[in-house]
A and B are shown apart, each in its own frame.
Chain A
């Protein structure tokens, strides 16, 4: 063993290095490490939160989709009902219209037939009178015998 002044020199060097390390090396490095750890921890927490938010949003979206589907289905159903109703209504209306048209047609036909009958009657009356005139060869007063003619007409 050969201990000498070297020891003192090394001791001084050691002290100087430790003090330098303590003042200028350790604090900035450990500070940066700890700050970065904090940043990373924040980032991880944020990503956790984001994942949770995403899950919630997905749940919400699913619920909304379900709602929308149900609503759409109900709308379609209502539309179908309404369609059937409209068709039915239209059919009823058309029926009524048809009946009305038929009725008016019948009425027209009736009046025309009555008119024709009347005309025919009158003409038959004239014809009968004319025939009777011819038969009797004598002038029969149409006015005097109108009551007979009317009776005849009524019998036709």
Chain B
């Protein structure tokens, strides 16, 4: 499929479609298997995210295995810099003792950073290569898929609930949800609604912020790709701007995760 034959609308739509499959095989828009059901799986999102996760794990594990107190190598220095950065962020926000939060923050930061970084890859490069292998769709930035960002946010949300109950007890957690901000018993239902909104807004905002930023970024990349020769300087500018957006979004996701979990640990 070459860009010349399609309108820009079709081009963008094509690039924003995931490579999907369900129990009946690969999906495609014009075949008998359009698969918009719940059991569909986005193979590209899953594949790229797991691949990037493995890149993160193998890289850091290889350093962890050789980690010594002596003079560190360059790779070890780089990895330790990231680890120390995450550790500082955790320590500045979360003051309790928890063996999960720091590794969780590290995983989120590096994984999201790597997935966001796929945004820098020229928008047509990976789909064209996939085309050679007969794959009609390929969306290489996993964080532009809400499934990805919601999975991360739900994981964090589960931990928020878990630690809220573990630290405060079920009674304490319910009390926290009902007795504030208004102290009078007749306003407890109102409190509960407000607190529930606050609580549920956390994973929702986490997921939608990351998804929204990256999806919009990718969309603009695609729009730029449709304007012909002028796309080169414009594309460069937009990619340079993403030097800010990509790490910032990873950092925000990590920081908010730490913040929400430290709030879950706070007993009022």
Which residues of A does B touch, CB under 8 Å?
1-11, 13-15, 17-18, 20-22, 24-33, 35-36, 39
Q: Are A6 and B41 interface neighbours, CB within 8 A?
A: yes
Q: Are B64 and A10 interface neighbours, CB within 8 A?
A: no
Contact partners of A7 in chain B: CB under 8 A: 147, 150-151, 154
B50 close to chain A: CB less than 8 A: yes
A-B pairs with CB below 8 Å: how many?
Answer: 122
Interface residue count on the B side (C-beta < 8 Å): 48
Q: A14-B107, A24-B61, A29-B64 are in contact. List 15 more A-B contacts (CB 8 A).
A: A2-B146, A3-B147, A4-B42, A5-B38, A5-B39, A6-B45, A7-B151, A9-B41, A10-B151, A13-B151, A17-B56, A22-B99, A25-B64, A26-B64, A29-B80
Which residues of B does A touch, CB under 8 Å?
18, 36-42, 45-46, 49-50, 53, 56-57, 60-61, 63-65, 67-70, 72, 79-80, 83-84, 87, 99-100, 102-104, 106-107, 111, 142, 145-148, 150-152, 154-155
Least distance between B237 CB and chain A CB atoms (Å): 30
A13, A24, A39 pick with most chain B CB within 10 angstroms: A13
Contact partners of B87 in chain A: CB under 8 A: 30, 33
Contact partners of A14 in chain B: CB under 8 A: 107, 111, 151-152, 155
Contact partners of A17 in chain B: CB under 8 A: 53, 56-57, 107, 111
The 3 closest A-B pairs by CB, nearest first: A10-B151, A32-B67, A6-B147
Contact partners of A10 in chain B: CB under 8 A: 45-46, 49, 142, 147-148, 151-152
Complex CA distance for A10 and B142, rounded to whole angstroms: 10
Q: Are A4 and B63 interface neighbours, CB within 8 A?
A: no
Q: Are A18 and B155 interface neighbours, CB within 8 A?
A: yes
Complex CA distance for A35 and B80, rounded to whole angstroms: 13
Q: Are B41 and A4 interface neighbours, CB within 8 A?
A: yes
Q: Nearest residue in B to A31 (C-beta to C-beta)? A: B67
Complex CA distance for A1 and B37, rounded to whole angstroms: 13
Q: Are B63 and A29 interface neighbours, CB within 8 A?
A: yes
